[in-house]
């Protein structure tokens, strides 16, 4: 039952973050290019938004994968191993993504 609520809450968050993403990145009134992206990525607010977006994408995807993996009753030990591996991969993906977002902001602040 917890997974059900995780899926629903993360879906609502994804609707919010995807709407922001689509409006800001894909339908701007100006031409989008790398310089505009770098300006946005240098701001802590946008870094926080991108980190939250990454978190909810991973949470939603991994919760869905967990439901698919645990749907069949016969593979108890295999399910636990796959679910654990998915959680570890998700944690590493989140850490890597956050490091990338924060490093990108530091790189821009240094004037590179």
Residue 31 zone, left/alpha/beta (φ > 0; ψ -120 to 50; rest): beta
Tokens of 111: 């004037």
How confident is the model over 41-56, as a mean pLDDT? 91
CATH number of the domain where residue 53 is located? 1.20.1300.10
> Which one is predicted more confidently, 31 or 16?
16
Segment 92-95 long-range contacts (CB within 8 Å, at least 24 positions apart): 93/58, 94/54, 94/55, 94/58
Q: What is the pTM of this model?
A: 0.81
Instruction: Look at residue 82 in the predicted model and tell me its pLDDT.
Output: 79
The residue range of the domain holding 20 is: 2-24+33-109
More confident residue, 69 or 10: 10
Classify residue 22 by its DSSP letter: I
Q: How many domains does the chain have?
A: 1
Q: pLDDT digit string (tens) for 56-109?
A: 999 999 888 888 777 766 667 777 787 788 889 999 999 999 998 888 766 665
Say if residues 33 and 39 touch (Cβ distance below 8 Å): no
């Amino acid at each position: 039952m917890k997974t059900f609520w995780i899926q629903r809450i993360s879906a609502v968050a994804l609707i919010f973050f995807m709407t922001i993403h689509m409006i800001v990145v894909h339908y701007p009134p100006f031409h989008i290019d790398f310089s505009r992206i770098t300006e946005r990525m240098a701001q802590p607010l946008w870094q926080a938004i991108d980190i939250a977006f990454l978190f909810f994408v991973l949470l939603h995807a991994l919760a869905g994968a967990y439901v698919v993996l645990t749907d069949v009753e016969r593979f108890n030990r295999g399910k636990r191993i796959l679910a654990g591996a998915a959680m570890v991969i998700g944690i590493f993906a989140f850490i890597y993504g956050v490091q990338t977002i924060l490093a990108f902001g530091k790189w821009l602040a240094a004037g590179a």
